[in-house]
């Protein structure tokens, strides 16, 4: 992740858990809708995907897409 994640950013979501380390990790594109700051590091980020699903991902699993 090169840029800091902010609400309104377009991001690539890489789901490393779904890949299971033996298959390619699925990727999606979405819009950052909120940042859940708290006692976790990295932050938890709510991302709205283009199919209407909202997923919560760790900040280090997101890649900001510079448009």
Mean pLDDT of the chain: 84
pLDDT digits (tens, 9 = 90+) for 2-31: 468 899 999 998 877 776 677 787 888 999
Q: 45-50: long-range contacts at Cβ-Cβ below 8 A with a sequence spacing of 24 or more?
A: 45/5, 45/11, 47/11, 47/13, 49/13
Query: How many domains, the chain?
Result: 1
Domain span including residue 53: 10-64
The larger pLDDT score, comparing residue 38 to residue 13, is at 13
The CATH code of the domain that includes 22 is 2.30.30
Dig out the tokens for 60 from the structure.
């280090």
Which single residue is written with the structure tokens 């309104």? 8
**What does the pLDDT read at residue 42?**
83
Does the structure show a pLDDT above 50 at 1?
A: no
Confidence of residue 40 (pLDDT cuts 50, 70, 90): low
Does the structure show a pLDDT above 80 at 50?
A: yes
Please check whether residue 5 lies inside any domain of the structure: no
């Amino acid at each position: 992740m090169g840029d800091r994640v902010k609400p309104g950013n377009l991001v690539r979501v890489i789901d490393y858990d779904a890949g299971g380390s033996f298959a390619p990790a699925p990727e999606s594109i979405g819009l950052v809708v909120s940042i859940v700051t708290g006692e976790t590091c990295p932050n938890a980020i709510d991302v709205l995907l283009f199919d209407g699903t909202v997923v919560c991902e760790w900040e280090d699993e997101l890649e900001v897409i510079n448009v």
